[in-house]
Structure 1
């Protein structure tokens, strides 16, 4: 992956309208970098919180959950009980889960999100979409952009946390 340019520099992706290319590019870039970062990451460090930062496990779960929730709102649906339960449990330590499993689950959610993204009519990006029980005002475009931005933000936090944990482990070991 290092030999390729970043996703946004590889040209348009056929499945997405031009107005939604930046969303697809950002999410796919994060996915590639997450795979590289988490390769060989020790699962016993998934729930560690160096300096009180959120754990790597939380970030991986949260990115998947956010993509799922924002896609749900973009489709004019309310969150299900399962989605609300998932939200409540993001970051709850589960020593039986491996880093590989969390990355695979994120991949599944990214695939679902990108499928929904490919079906969006770009002429409807400014259509209202309510968020949450309070139906806070947003738009389809706002939700999709936020999904990409939020994924990138949490990837950045995941990157720092993983690097700190790996460095700490190397210093101790």
Structure 2
């Protein structure tokens, strides 16, 4: 597969159920695009907020955190104190890891998600799951799809943020 070809055009990902292929493709596409957009981005601009908008560092941290939380909800797990702490600090640039580490963390979380997908029978995808303290209703497939589309949305925002800051 060419690095320019989008994942959704590359055929099925082995062992991922058919109904989860679009989510898997979107997550893998997110990893590829993040690496491309941030490859030569200056570290000193990682937490800069252009025009009061979210920083590149926030986007990188946030998509990892959201994916982690959606996987927990899909597994019927309550969020841990560590996850709440991560959420609280997603936008905090103090003592934050490098962009390389943030990208690595997201890629690791995507790999974890793909393993979860491979071990998820399609028969449970419509099972009800609940989100957050308010126990808002969703389904397994709803959570997994949201994690994927949410990542893609933030990758788009990351591209704009990086482009603005590089060209200032």
TM bin, normalised by shorter chain, reads: over 0.9
Q: Which structure 1 residue ranges, 5 or more long, are not aligned? A: 169-173
- In structure 2, the partner of 1:79 is 79
How far apart, in 1, do the equivalents of 2:55 and 2:4 lie?
Answer: 29
Matched, 1:130 2:98: no
- Report if aligned partners of 1:128, 1:138 keep a CA contact under 8 Å in 2: yes
Deviations 1:22-74 (CA, angstroms, capped at 9, x unpaired): 00000101110111111121111010000111000000000000000000000
Matched, 1:113 2:113: yes
C-alpha RMSD of the superposition: 1.3
Where in structure 2 are the equivalents of 1:10-159 lying within 5 Å?
A: 10-94=10-94, 97-159=97-159
- Report if aligned partners of 1:42, 1:99 keep a CA contact under 8 Å in 2: no
Q: Aligned-pair distance for 1:121? A: 1.0
**Which deviates further from its counterpart, 106-115 or 141-150?**
106-115
How far apart, in 2, do the equivalents of 1:88 and 1:15 lie?
Answer: 35
Q: Which structure 2 residue ranges, 5 or more long, are not aligned? A: none
Count of residues in correspondence between the two structures: 168
How far apart, in 2, do the equivalents of 1:95 and 1:133 lie?
Answer: 29
- Report if aligned partners of 2:70, 2:143 keep a CA contact under 8 Å in 1: yes
Q: Aligned-pair distance for 1:115? A: 1.1
**Which deviates further from its counterpart, 28-37 or 86-95?**
86-95
SS of 1:72 mapped into structure 2: helix
Deviations 1:73-100 (CA, angstroms, capped at 9, x unpaired): 0000000000000000001012552111
Q: TM-score, normalised by structure 2?
A: 0.96
Runs of 4+ in 1 over 3 A off after TM superposition: 1-4
